[in-house]
Amino acid sequence: MTRVLVLAALGVAPVLLSAQEPTDTARLGPIVVTAERLPIPAAAVPAAVTVLAGAALRAQGIRSVADALRTVPGVTVVATGSFGAQTSLFVRGGESDYVKVLIDGVPQNQPGGAFDFAHLTLDAVDRIEVVRGPVSVLYGSDAVAGVVQIFTRAGHGAPRTAMSVRAGSFGSTEVSADLAGGGPTMGYSLSASRFGSDGIYAVNNAYRDAVVSGRLSWRPDPRSDVGLSLRFGDDVFHYPTDGAGNIVDTNQRQTTRGLSAGLEAGRFLSPRLEARVTAAYHEDEVRFDDEPDDSLDTGPFASYHSRDRIRRFALGGRANVHVSSGTILTGGTELEWQRQRGTTLDTARHTGTGAGGFDDGGRATRGQPAVRRARHGAGRGGVADRDGNAAARVRRDGVQGADLLRELRDGVRAREPAARARAVDQLGAGRGAYPDGTGQHRPHLLRPAVPQPRSVLLRAGGS
453 preceded by cis ω (within 30°)? yes
> Predicted confidence band at 463 (pLDDT cuts at 50, 70, 90)?
low
Within this chain, domains 32-148 and 157-415 share the same CATH topology: no
Q: What is the model's pLDDT at position 412?
A: 36
Q: What is the model's pLDDT at position 350?
A: 63
CA 384 and chain centroid, separation? 24
Q: What is the model's pLDDT at position 163?
A: 93
Q: What is the model's pLDDT at position 460?
A: 53
- 58 vs 383: which has the higher pLDDT: 58
280 sits in which H/E element:
strand 273-290
Interval 121-175: pLDDT, tens: 998 899 999 999 998 888 888 899 999 999 999 888 899 999 999 999 999 999 9
Over residues 335-356, mean pLDDT: 69
- Fold classification of 32-148 is Ferric Hydroxamate Uptake Protein; Chain A, domain 1 (2.170.130)
96 sits in which H/E element:
none
- 123 vs 219: which has the higher pLDDT: 219
Highest mean pLDDT, choosing among 41-50, 134-143, 445-454: 134-143
Ranking 16-20, 162-166, 436-440 by mean pLDDT, the lowest is: 436-440
φ/ψ (deg, to 5) at 272: -115, -15
φ/ψ (deg, to 5) at 9: -65, -40
Over residues 203-213, mean pLDDT: 95
Over residues 56-74, mean pLDDT: 93
Computed over every residue of the chain, the mean pLDDT equals 75
Ranking 31-40, 75-84, 140-149, 249-258 by mean pLDDT, the lowest is: 31-40
* Full DSSP string of 379-448: EE--EEEEES-HHHHHHHTTHHHHHHHHHHHHSS--SSHHHHHHHHHHHHHT--SSTTSS----TTTBPP
Rg (CA), the chain: 25
Could you tell me if 111 and 394 are in contact, meaning their C-beta atoms sit under 8 angstroms apart?
A: yes
Distance between CA atoms of 422 and 242, rounded to whole angstroms? Answer: 11
Could you tell me if 125 and 65 are in contact, meaning their C-beta atoms sit under 8 angstroms apart?
A: yes
Q: What is the model's pLDDT at position 18?
A: 41
Interval 346-401: pLDDT, tens: 666 666 433 333 344 444 445 444 444 433 344 444 444 444 333 333 333 333 33
Q: What is the model's pLDDT at position 354?
A: 39
Residue percentage of the chain with pLDDT more than 90:
46
Enumerate the domain spans of the chain. 32-148, 157-415
| 310-313-314 Cα angle (round to 5) | 145
* Full DSSP string of 320-379: EEEEETTEEEEEEEEEEEEEEEEEETTEEEES---STT-SEEEEEEEE--EEEETTTEEE
Distance between CA atoms of 455 and 35, rounded to whole angstroms? Answer: 37
Q: Of 2.40.170.20, 3.40.50.720, 3.60.15.10, 3.40.190.10, which CATH number belongs to 157-415?
A: 2.40.170.20
Interval 88-109: pLDDT, tens: 999 998 999 999 999 999 999 9
The yes-or-no verdict on residue 206 having pLDDT over 90 is yes
Distance between CA atoms of 274 and 319, rounded to whole angstroms? Answer: 6
Determine how many CB atoms are found less than 10 A away from the CB of residue 157.
Answer: 11
The yes-or-no verdict on residue 120 having pLDDT over 90 is yes
Interval 294-324: pLDDT, tens: 777 777 767 888 999 999 999 999 999 998 8
